[in-house]
């Protein structure tokens, strides 16, 4: 990425002004053009009359301001050779590590990570849940109509038993999937 510095009069102008002031023996001042809060330097007349080297020493007693940090920015001294670059990019720290926690899902036979649910089985359950939710939505017919009783999902050819008395029934027009256990 190459940043083109063509239209930046502000920084250049600031630098030119600061250099001009340094040559004249005055302190460079801050970014906003405010007067520097130098109590001791202003009280003693010597730094103002002395030539440039003294103003250089007077400057160093001050805490580094914004301009100092600009002039003292870290920059690379030499171009990093391709050999050095390769050593950094290819050392084992940066290579991708081989995963040893991949297993086979006992249900569907796809691959899964040991601590994560099988993606295929999860997608299967998700699809069925979505259809059940669509049925619920059709039955409720709008928001905020959820009943205060339990919901029971029945597939083809199933009847509610005695203990499923007060539950709301959701019908699904297909065979019960093997993984959906009936209570």
Partner 1 sequence: RWLASSSFVPQSCVHTSTSLQTTRKWEKKNRIVYPPQLPGEPRRPAEIYHCRREIKYSKDKMWYLAKLIKGMSIDQALAQLEFSDKKGAKVIKEVLLEAQEMAVRNHNVEFKSNLHIAESLTGRGTYAKRIRYHGKGMFGIMKLVRCHYFVKLVEGPPPPPEPEKTGFEQAKEYVQQLRSRTLVNTL
Q: How far is the CB of 96 from partner 1 (least distance, A)?
A: 5
Which residue(s) pair with 153 in the sheet?
Answer: 170
DSSP state of 31: T
Task: Please give the sequence-ordered ranges of beta strands (E in DSSP) within 46-181, or none if there are none.
Answer: 102-104, 111-113, 151-154, 168-171
Choice between 2 and 46, CB closer to partner 1: 2
**Pairing relationship of beta strands 102-104 and 111-113 according to DSSP bridges:** antiparallel
Q: Give how far Cα 159 sits from Cα of 66, 129, 152, 155, 162, Å.
A: 80, 20, 11, 9, 10
Choice between 82 and 181, CB closer to partner 1: 82
Choice between 8 and 134, CB closer to partner 1: 8
The residues binding partner 1 (CB under 8 A) are 1-8, 89, 94-96, 98-99, 102, 111, 113
* Cα–Cα distance measured from residue 152 to residue 170, given in angstroms and rounded to the nearest whole number: 6
Q: How far is the CB of 113 from partner 1 (least distance, A)?
A: 6
Choice between 113 and 145, CB closer to partner 1: 113
Place of tokens 């460079």: 28
Choice between 17 and 89, CB closer to partner 1: 89
Q: How far is the CB of 75 from partner 1 (least distance, A)?
A: 18
Q: How far is the CB of 177 from partner 1 (least distance, A)?
A: 25
* Pair 47, 55: CB distance under 8 Å: yes
Q: How far is the CB of 98 from partner 1 (least distance, A)?
A: 6
* Cα–Cα distance measured from residue 55 to residue 59, given in angstroms and rounded to the nearest whole number: 6
């Amino acid at each position: 990425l190459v940043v083109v510095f063509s239209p930046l009069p502000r920084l250049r102008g600031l630098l030119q002004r600061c250099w001009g002031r340094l040559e004249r023996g005055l302190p460079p001042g801050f970014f906003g053009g405010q007067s520097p809060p130098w109590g001791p330097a202003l009280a003693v007349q010597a730094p103002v009359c002395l030539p440039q080297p003294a103003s250089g020493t007077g400057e160093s007693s001050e805490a580094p301001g914004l301009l100092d940090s600009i002039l003292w920015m870290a920059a690379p001294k030499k171009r990093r050779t391709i050999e050095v670059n390769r050593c950094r990019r290819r050392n084992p720290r940066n290579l991708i590590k081989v995963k040893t926690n991949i297993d086979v899902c006992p249900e569907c036979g796809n691959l899964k990570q040991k601590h994560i649910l099988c993606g295929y089985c999860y997608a299967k359950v998700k699809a069925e849940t979505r259809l059940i939710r669509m049925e619920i939505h059709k039955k409720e017919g709008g928001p905020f109509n959820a009943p205060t009783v339990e919901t029971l999902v029945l597939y083809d050819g199933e009847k509610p038993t005695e203990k499923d008395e007060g539950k709301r029934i959701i019908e699904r027009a297909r065979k019960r999937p093997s993984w959906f256990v009936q209570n």
